[in-house]
A and B are shown apart, each in its own frame.
Chain A
């Protein structure tokens, strides 16, 4: 079971998609204008990552290295399209909130990255667990960035969360600073870069201070 706890720790902290691997920068910076948006995008990506990892793992015996990339892309794109259609048809209110982000998941290279780095070599179950925790790590990162930008930019937390999670989550919606004039730059793209940069620096400082090995991912690909 220790392998699973290592997978979990990798996904959430050591190899965090955003804070360590610096993958999936497009949704990370574009979507995180509020905590709710970050959370929604994170959860949708988690679902796709988990299933995509399991799919890739289950066909790994039949796929040759020469055609693996197109095969993974076809699998991931199909999966995302099916999720998109299903949400649109059966959870339409949620779709209206998340709709524009779902198609973006295909462009998130962390999905292809996990297929290539983990699922192509490991059995189905560990691959699924890896996808789940990588996704959760991504969700935590996006929600955190979204909350900071929302708080600084609009003075609220989790606004419109009830649209995403249902009316029972209305309590999450908070106006922290009343009559806040707004700090538009945090909502606009530069705010995403600023917050991400500060968080990356903070994680680095923490790891250096506590003597942890700083895991620097080999690939600093941006997508």
Chain B
């Protein structure tokens, strides 16, 4: 048998592994190409969904995803800020902040109006202990809703902390680190907004808003599936 003779040759092992690796690479490349657009669209939908969660209904009529600016915060990190407009007038902004919790970074998304008042806060990513730290999720408890309506002066900045640290926000029995991280993120987010308000709300969003939405056929497969 030809194959049997071939298998005895020294180079065969390397060649076999090489062919398989090549085939695998090609498959992966095509899989990536084929799913790239779908994944992008799905992630955009996710972001869109969470953006609307931190803004009251009817607060904005623009497409926030298209009206964004990147603003450098004091630590030098770039923060993507999405601006909410009603009839073209800037009404508020939505952005992410993150601080280390117990297990990993806790990422919060927060919406503020032009005066710096909190419209809503949601935790969008965390890996805290189930049953202890995950009470920060809106799906589990109402804890996160306590931020709504608060601003930098209300409560005063030294009270913008969990109760254990002399602040006004509850911690959970057995879990202080997680809520502390969330409160810190929100406080820093408000300070960031106050310090960069001009930059954040500056004009420029209007032009971006005019960018035509492309009803490309590539987005359709993902939509059909869902």
Q: Give the interface of A toward B (CB within 8 A).
A: 33, 59, 61-64, 66-67, 70-71, 74-75, 77-78, 81-82, 85-86, 88-93, 95-96, 153-154, 182, 184, 187-188
Contacts and interface: CB of A to CB of B under 8 A. Distances in A.
B226 A93 contact: yes
List the 4 closest A-B pairs by CB distance, nearest first. A89-B38, A89-B35, A92-B42, A78-B24
Contact of A85 (B7, B39, B130): B39
Contact of B28 (A64, A78, A93): A78
Given A74-B20, A91-B225, A154 B31 contact: no
B3 A62 contact: yes
Contacts of A77: 24
Interface stretch (B11-19, B74-82, B142-150, B188-196): B11-19
Nearest to B225: A90
Contacts of A71: 16-17, 20
Interface in B169-226: 221-222, 225-226
A64 B226 contact: no
B27 interface: yes
A180 to B, nearest CB: 11
Contact of B129 (A67, A78, A92, A188): A188
Given A33-B130, A64-B7, 11 more contacts: A64-B16, A67-B13, A71-B17, A71-B20, A81-B31, A82-B28, A85-B39, A88-B38, A89-B36, A89-B222, A92-B45
B13 A64 contact: yes
Interface in B127-141: 129-132
Contacts of B12: 64
A74 B21 contact: yes
Nearest to A71: B20
Contacts of B130: 33, 187
Contacts of B222: 89-90, 92
A88 B42 contact: yes
A177 to B, nearest CB: 15
A103 B21 CA distance: 19
B46 interface: yes
Nearest to B21: A74
Interface of B: 3, 7, 12-14, 16-17, 20-21, 24, 27-28, 31-32, 34-39, 42, 45-46, 129-132, 221-222, 225-226
Contacts of A66: 13
Considering residues A59, A89, A91, which has the most beta carbons from chain B within 10 angstroms of its beta carbon? A89
Contacts of A81: 28, 31
Contact of A61 (B3, B24, B31, B46): B3
Considering residues B17, B34, B129, B222, which has the most beta carbons from chain A within 10 angstroms of its beta carbon? B17
A95 B39 CA distance: 11
A3 B101 CA distance: 53
Contact of B31 (A62, A86, A182): A86
A213 to B, nearest CB: 38
A89 B17 contact: no
Given A62-B3, A90-B221, A153 B16 contact: no
27 contacts: A33-B130, A61-B3, A64-B7, A64-B13, A67-B17, A70-B17, A74-B17, A77-B24, A81-B28, A82-B28, A85-B31, A85-B35, A85-B39, A88-B38, A89-B34, A89-B222, A90-B35, A90-B38, A90-B222, A91-B225, A92-B42, A92-B226, A93-B226, A96-B46, A184-B131, A187-B130, A187-B131
